[in-house]
Chains A and B, each alone.
Chain A
Amino acid sequence: MAKRIDVSGLSAFYGTHKAIDDISMTVEPRSVTAFIGPSGCGKSTFLRTLNRMHEVTPGGRVEGKVMLDDENLYGQGVDPVAVRRTVGMVFQRPNPFPTMSIFDNVAAGLRLNGSYKKSELNDVVERSLKGANLWNEVKDRLNKPGSGLSGGQQQRLCIARAIAVEPQVLLMDEPCSALDPISTLAIEDLIGELKERFTIVIVTHNMQQAARVSDRTAFFNLAAVGQPGKLVEIDDTDRIFSNPSVQATEDYISGRFG
């Protein structure tokens, strides 16, 4: 199931603007890695390079290597569509398909990849919704539109949709920033369960959240506005929050900037 991500020498551009510069890191399978850093430091951009979503932005371009176990995502002949199927993503704002029912939302990814029997689909949808801790809340209204759910439920629906296709890696781009504290807690609990099965990378603005959910934490920073973002350090979360090896990390964590 879960795979290791090995990034080396990765830079990303918007047109001629360099957004992130020369990043190398390793993300262990079946763990949660959190990206923290001030706004504009490129952590979301970096996240989007991990499933080739960066290049759908007009002008988006990437240099460097991202190895998923032993395959380079940016190698020759690699199909971005297959990459995105293997590396799932959850976005900042919940984005269920507004015209689809709850059931169809979860089944959407499967239906893309071939025809399934109704019973198979039922199984996968139930399993995914249970996996996202949403099953009990929606099992009686699977045919209702997904947009009728609360924000937190919608976000868990999006997680269910992402895990339904059994990806190797799950990327989360500030998944709780649009949610209330109780929904946030529900998602954080869920992340703890999901890491048994997936490699999880989460971008967050909230340092407490990073401390709560992640095993390892990467701190990104930028020298000045307009400069590309860089990886300052990546280490076990405990160490980053207690005894970071770089001064800037400590300044950021203790609230001196950002």
Chain B
Amino acid sequence: MSHALQDPRPVKPRSSAPSSLTRGGLPRWAPAAIAALSALLGAGIGAVAGLESRMQWGLIAALLFVGITYTASSVVENRRQAKDRVATSLVWVCFLLAVVPLLSLLGVTIARGIKVLDGYFLSHSMAGVAGFAPGGGVYHALLGTIEQVLLATAIAAPIGLLTAVYLVEYGRGRLAKAVTFFVDVMTGIPSIVAGLFILTTWTLMLEQGPSGFAGSLALSILMMPVVVRSTEEMLKLVPNELREASLALGVPKWRTILKVVLPTAIGGISTGVMLAVARIAGETAPIMLLVFGNPLINDNPFEGAQSSLPLYIWEQYKVGSEDSFDRAWAAALVLIAFVMILNLVARGIARWKAPKTGR
């Protein structure tokens, strides 16, 4: 993974006879000590100055850390070493800055979501529950999400798979180049634009009412390029010798692809599809435009408005009462769990089915 440049710092500086090769150096524990000192000072300054936000305490501590490191290293070592140390600490700070929001987001969602999350919440809809009142559940939304995502996968996975097969096994010339380029560009389509597109065609032109299926159509547009990209990568990993061996036996190309190439890559392909599913499961905007939302259980995705987890969170958030916030957090927790499980399973498959190379 990384090719970290491992430069063990000299163990103990000072004292050894001065020469061209040795230099003064901070002891190995210096960064840790400076970090602890800055954290203390940061908290102290923050508390004395009456700053409420812990974020500010952290910022002060981080700035102190960089400053003290630079000064100490400049004095004891030299300016180049000081710069190197500052760069190292900045890189560490960047990393911590990224971890803080993730931990906070997970922590807050779990802490607040666990409050109303129970069997009742998972098995009941919002039928007869006023938005600002306690009670109700997420069952109808969970059902809607699962149905919509399955439908979207049923549309997008075959198309995406075949397109990837085309690009890797058949594609030559301009058409293939155009497809490659636009698949990449398609990855960047905002979900709300995909929603608007289905709105213009399905709803406005064909005059269909809101349904889970309409949402699936928009989701499948978002899903296709992701499936194409990941499947393409996997197919490219299949060694050419396998194809040649099969073709040399007189097996036609399409059977070679179906019987040799795809089975070899199936682990990676299913991982890619599941990651794509995880991505679309959290989409709200197209559902809002096309599926409308429904407090009741509607198990038919082809007829009438449905709900979905992300949309449910949005609706509960908009109601704006303490009880609806609780439901929003609980649903967010369910959604994150859903997505994370998909992610973990996908990566598990990837590891389990990873093509074993000879080395």
Report if A and B touch in the complex (beta carbons < 8 A).
yes
Q: State A77–B22 Cα separation when bound (angstroms).
A: 5
Does B20 count as interface, using CB distance less than 8 angstroms?
Answer: yes
Q: A5 → chain B, closest Cβ, in Å?
A: 13
**B20–A82 CB distance below 8 A:** yes
B17 to chain A: closest residue by CB: A71
Which of A58, A78, A112, A113 meets B22, CB within 8 Å? A78
Chain A residues whose CB sits within 8 angstroms of the CB of B3 once the complex forms: 58
User: Which residues of chain A come closer than 8 Å to B6, judged between CB atoms?
Assistant: 55-56, 58, 60
CB pair A78–B8 under 8 Å, yes or no, is: no
Bound CA span A79–B81, Å: 10
A98 close to B (CB within 8 Å): no
Contacts of A78 in B (CB 8 A): 10, 21-22
B5 within 8 A of A: yes
Q: Is A15 close to B, CB under 8 A?
A: no
Distance of B311 from chain A, by nearest CB (Å): 48
Q: A58-B3, A58-B4 are in contact. Are A73 and B10 (CB under 8 A)?
A: no
Size class of A's contact patch? 10 to 19
Partner of A77, one of B5, B7, B12: B12
Residues of B within 8 A of A80 (CB): 7-8
Interface residue ranges of A78-93 to B (CB < 8 Å): 78-83, 86
- A133–B15 Cα gap in the complex (Å)? 44
A86 in contact with B21 given A58-B3, A75-B16, A76-B16 (CB within 8 Å):
yes
Chain B CB within 8 A of A68 CB: yes
Quick one: closest B residue to A57, CB to CB? B6
**B23: which A residues are within 8 A, CB to CB?**
77, 79, 82
B240 at the interface (CB under 8 A from A): no
A79 touches B80 (CB 8 A): no
Q: Is residue B25 within 8 Å, beta carbon to beta carbon, of the partner chain?
A: yes
Tell me the smallest distance from the CB of A49 to a CB of chain B, in Å. 14
Contact yes or no, B16 A73, CB < 8 A: no
- Residue in A60, A79, A113 whose CB lies within 8 Å of B21: A79
Chain B residue with Cβ nearest A112: B80
Interface residues of B in 1-44 (CB under 8 A from A): 3-8, 10-16, 19-23, 25
Assembled-state Cα–Cα distance A212/B25 (Å): 44
Closest residue of chain A to B24 (Cβ to Cβ) is A77
Quick one: which of B102-157 are within 8 Å of A by CB? none
Note all chain B residues with C-beta closer than 8 A to A82: 20-23
Which single residue of chain B is at the shortest CB-CB distance from A61?
B8
Docked complex Cα distance between A75 and B11 (Å): 9
Report B's interface with A, CB cutoff 8 A: 3-8, 10-16, 19-23, 25, 80
Q: Name 14 A/B residue pairs within 8 A (Cβ), A-sorted.
A: A55-B7, A58-B3, A58-B4, A58-B6, A68-B21, A76-B10, A77-B13, A77-B15, A77-B22, A79-B10, A79-B21, A82-B20, A82-B23, A83-B21
